[in-house]
Chain A
Amino acid sequence: MIEVMEKYIIKTEQIDTWLKRIIESIPRVLAPVSSGTKTEFRKIKSTEEVDNKSFTTTVSAKAAAFPPVETLFKYQKDGKDTTLTEESFDKYPETVLWHARSCDAMGFSPLSAIFDWDYKDNIYDERRNKLTIVTFACIQSDECCFCTSVGGGPGNVEGSDIQLTTLNATDTLVEVMTEKGQKLIALLPDIFQPLSEEVDKEAVLAKMPVRFTKEEIKEHVSNAFDSPVWKRQSARCLGCGACAFVCPTCACFDIQEDAHGSHGRRLRCWDACGFSLFTQHTSGYNPRPTQATRWRQRILHKFSYMPERLGVYGCTGCGRCSRACPVDMNLQEHLISIANSNHE
Chain B
Amino acid sequence: MQDDRNGCAGEEGWPDGGGIDFMSVWILRFAAALYLAAAAAYVFYFARPRHTRAASAGYTLVGAGFLVHAISIGFACSEFRGAEFFTLRGGLVMIAWLAAGGFLLLIRAYRLPAIGAFITPLLLMALVPGLFAQPGQSHGIVPEVVRLPVLKLHVIAATGAVGLFAIAFGVALMYLLQERELKGKRFGALFSRLPSLTALDRLNQRMVRSGFVIYTIALVSGTLTAKTAWGRFFGWDLQQVISLGIWLLFALMVQLRHSGIHGRKYAVLTVVGFVLVMGTMVGLRQAPGLTRHEGSYAADRGSSS
- Do these two chains interact? no
